[in-house]
């Protein structure tokens, strides 16, 4: 393939094992500077891809679904057969006008006004989890707070019984393992569907579909004031979600509302521990909380990329892109692009402006749950400061083996003081 620069051929930004150690920031910086539209071979796993690493290009591609499609192929690196793609298709893998219809069916539940209604429940959950950590004198912050907070919030909003929250966390963990390259046992959770037909190639998707279908049927029979009822009753122009649309949407809510926000929380606390001056700045001036939330989102970049597929021959920065080529927007590079975000490797809780692409590059697929994620981060920071909770690192964090989610498996902390 044309345009590969020999001196960049050593760069690998796709191997999950690299991310288990660290995000390859130096490789991304070289690509941004020397080859912002770079052909990356990936012949051992699937065909290669165009690595898009500059902020400006990520935004332009996100806003042009007529050229760069989410529906033509998978939105992750790995290719799928057409039947696999069809079986796994969610709102993420649609283009307008299908996307517009789906989005209209569900967007009412995620407006800033609607999300504000979830603040009290979020605060209760965050406060209780932090109290638990304080009572234990510390522990693994991921297990104690980052993992249970978002899943309990989404479970509460959806209207899922709280005794099933643990099961939802477990299933979400299994979904991430589907992106690790490590083979999974296909029969887990009684699954009989070939893994290639399941989202994230994980048997946990089967379990989520089953659970979602069961609880959706319950709400159809007995509606309540919750998001599940809204989903099963959602109607625009006489249309409802079909069964596969509903199942895939349920599954994506549990994953998207959970794993991503968990990562933002873990990476955010990790960054504050690594930058104690910034934490003190925040404690001294609560007015900085909104900018601190945005900086945590930039720094954490919980989803490191999404992919599009070119629908026609085109070019980006003069580099020819052929119809059918994979075009991968590396948000984790765009969020550290010096051209838009000065001094990007500095964690600055007062950073303004902060045009991060953590929720996507502002196109039609811009994260539906962005306001909910922001609410959870804000409330957690407020509670942490109100409780005057002071944490210390108690060991090195372990990273998730994935080139897709920038997750921490563990974050050991000690409670130095806290009420």
Which residues neighbour 34 within 8 Å (Cβ) at sequence distance 6 or greater? 5, 8
| Separation between Cα atoms, residue 17 and residue 209, nearest integer Å | 30
- Give the residue with the Cβ less far from ligand HEM, 191 or 251: 251
Q: Does 296 sit near ligand HEM (CB under 6 A)?
A: no
* Neighbour tally for 135: CB within 10 Å: 10
State which of residues 71, 198, 372, 405 lies at the interface with ligand HEM (CB under 6 A): 372
Give the footprint of ligand HEM on residues 90-149 (CB under 6 A).
91-92, 103
**H/E element, 408:** strand 408-410
- Provide the token pair at 370: 């962005």
Taking alpha carbons only, the member of 414, 369, 316, 300 closest to residue 151 is 369
Q: Does 335 sit near ligand HEM (CB under 6 A)?
A: no
Size of the site for ligand HEM (CB under 6 A): 27
Query: Among 115-123, 169-177, 284-292, 295-303, which window interacts with ligand HEM (CB under 6 A)?
Result: 295-303
CA-based torsion, 413, 140, 116, 406: positive or negative: positive
- Provide the token pair at 394: 């108690």
State which of residues 72, 367, 393, 394 lies at the interface with ligand HEM (CB under 6 A): 367
State which of residues 236, 252, 311, 355 lies at the interface with ligand HEM (CB under 6 A): 252
Taking alpha carbons only, the member of 294, 286, 155, 295 closest to residue 215 is 155
Query: Among 20-28, 334-342, 356-364, 380-388, which window interacts with ligand HEM (CB under 6 A)?
Result: 356-364
Least gap, CB of 334 to ligand HEM (angstroms): 11
Binding to ligand HEM by CB under 6 A, coded x per residue (else -) over 66-95, reads ----x----x---------------xx---
State which of residues 169, 304, 341, 373 lies at the interface with ligand HEM (CB under 6 A): 373
CA-based torsion, 200, 204, 208, 214: positive or negative: positive
| Separation between Cα atoms, residue 92 and residue 89, nearest integer Å | 7
| Separation between Cα atoms, residue 151 and residue 260, nearest integer Å | 10
Q: CA-based angle 260:128:169, to the nearest 5?
A: 35
State which of residues 129, 130, 253, 411 lies at the interface with ligand HEM (CB under 6 A): 253
Q: Does 261 sit near ligand HEM (CB under 6 A)?
A: yes
- Provide the token pair at 207: 């379990």
State which of residues 65, 360, 397, 407 lies at the interface with ligand HEM (CB under 6 A): 360
Classify residue 418 by burial, with Cβ atoms within 10 Å: 0-12, 13-18, 19+.
middle
Tell me the residue number closest to ligand HEM, measured at CB: 369
Least gap, CB of 150 to ligand HEM (angstroms): 7
Residues of the shown chain interacting with ligand HEM in the complex, contacts defined by CB under 6 A: 62, 70, 75, 91-92, 103, 154, 252-253, 256-257, 260-261, 264, 297, 302-303, 306, 358-360, 365, 367-369, 372-373
């Amino acid at each position: 393939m044309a345009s590969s620069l020999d001196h960049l051929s050593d760069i690998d930004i796709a191997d999950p094992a690299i991310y288990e150690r660290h995000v390859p920031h130096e490789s991304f910086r070289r690509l941004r500077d020397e080859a912002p539209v770079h052909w990356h071979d990936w012949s051992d796993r699937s065909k290669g891809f165009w690595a898009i690493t500059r902020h400006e290009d990520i935004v332009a591609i996100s806003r042009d679904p007529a050229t760069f499609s989410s529906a033509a192929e998978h939105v992750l690196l790995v290719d799928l057969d057409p039947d696999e793609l069809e079986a796994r298709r969610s709102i993420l893998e649609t283009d307008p006008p299908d996307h517009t219809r789906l989005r209209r069916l569900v967007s009412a539940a995620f407006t800033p006004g609607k999300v504000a209604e979830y603040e009290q429940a979020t605060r209760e959950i965050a406060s209780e989890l932090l109290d638990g950590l304080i009572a234990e004198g510390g522990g693994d912050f991921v297990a104690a707070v980052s993992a249970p907070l978002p899943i309990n919030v989404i479970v509460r909003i959806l209207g899922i019984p709280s005794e099933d929250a643990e099961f939802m966390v477990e299933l979400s963990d299994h979904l991430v393992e589907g992106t690790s390259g490590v083979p999974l046992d296909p029969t887990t959770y009684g699954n009989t569907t070939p893994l290639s037909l399941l989202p994230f190639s994980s048997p946990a998707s089967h379990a989520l579909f089953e659970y979602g279908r069961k609880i959706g049927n319950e709400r159809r029979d007995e509606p309540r004031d919750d998001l599940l009822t809204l989903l099963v009753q959602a109607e625009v122009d006489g249309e409802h979600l079909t069964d596969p649309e509903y199942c895939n949407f349920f599954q994506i809510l549990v994953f998207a509302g959970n794993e991503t926000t968990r990562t933002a929380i873990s990476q955010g606390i990790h960054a504050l521990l690594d930058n104690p001056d910034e934490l003190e700045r925040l404690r001294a001036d609560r007015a900085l909380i909104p900018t601190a939330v945005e900086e945590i989102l930039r720094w954490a970049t919980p989803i490191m990329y999404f992919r599009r597929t070119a629908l026609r021959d085109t070019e980006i920065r003069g580099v020819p892109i052929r119809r059918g080529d994979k075009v991968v927007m590396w948000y984790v590079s765009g969020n550290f692009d010096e051209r838009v975000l000065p001094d990007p490797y500095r964690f600055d809780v007062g950073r303004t402006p902060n045009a991060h692409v953590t929720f996507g590059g502002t196109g039609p697929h811009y994260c539906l749950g962005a306001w909910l994620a922001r609410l959870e981060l804000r409330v957690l920071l407020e509670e942490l400061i109100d409780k005057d909770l002071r944490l210390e690192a108690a060991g090195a964090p372990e990273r998730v083996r994935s080139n897709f989610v920038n997750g921490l498996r563990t974050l050991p902390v000690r409670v130095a003081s806290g009420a």
